Structure formats: structure tokens, C-alpha cells
Amino acid sequence: MSELASKKCVPCQVGVLPLKGSALKELQKHLRGWDVIEEHHLYKTFKFPDFKTALTFTNKVGEIAEEQGHHPQICLTWGKVEIKVYTHKIQGLTESDFILAAKIDAIG
């Protein structure tokens, strides 16, 4: 488990600016296979052998999201789950987005 995965997501405060540039690259080093898209969101596709396994994974992601109070966009299709993570309040990325992604990596 990565160091990020052991942390807890924290609610975004008013006035927080989205992470940019080298701060994003440094946090991305702690993740496996997540893309940083236009410095706005994290994206990753998880592949599975069938729909049932993908659904089980999706439900685990949902449990983590509820526990952390931080909710990704999830697209579930046969054998594939696509996840997009960002902080809606600031329309960008915070450390909590990377924490959530690391926690998802720990189950996937």
C-alpha cells in the first residue's frame, strides 16, 4: 500500500487552489497507471474478465468513496471500469484526489 493510501481525504476548504505542474507530477509518482488529464482530473481504466467482477470492484470503490466522503465518477461496462477523480468544488485536483486514487489502487 502506498503512503497516500494510508491517508484520509479531507474536505476542500474555500480558497484552496487546484494543484498544478510539479506538485501534480510528484503526487502522480505514488499512483499506478493513473493519467493526469489537463491538470484537471485523474483517469484510469481497470479491466476485468467479466461484468460481475467489474461490478464487485465498482461496489468496493463506492464503499471507499463513502468512507472518505469523496466521490469519483465511475463508468461500469462489461469487463471494464473507468474512474475519473477530481475535486468538484474547485474544478481541479487536490491531494485528496490522489489519496482516493491510491486507495482505489489498493483494491484493484
Q: How do residues 51-61 score in pLDDT, each as one tens digit? A: 999 999 999 99
Highest-confidence range of 8-12, 27-31, 48-52, 84-88, by mean pLDDT? 48-52
- Please tell me the CATH superfamily of domain 42-108, with its number: Transcriptional coactivator/pterin dehydratase (3.30.1360.20)
Distance from C-alpha of 12 to C-alpha of 97, rounded to nearest angstrom: 10
Domain ranges of the chain: 42-108
> How does residue 10 score in pLDDT terms, banded at 50, 70 and 90?
confident
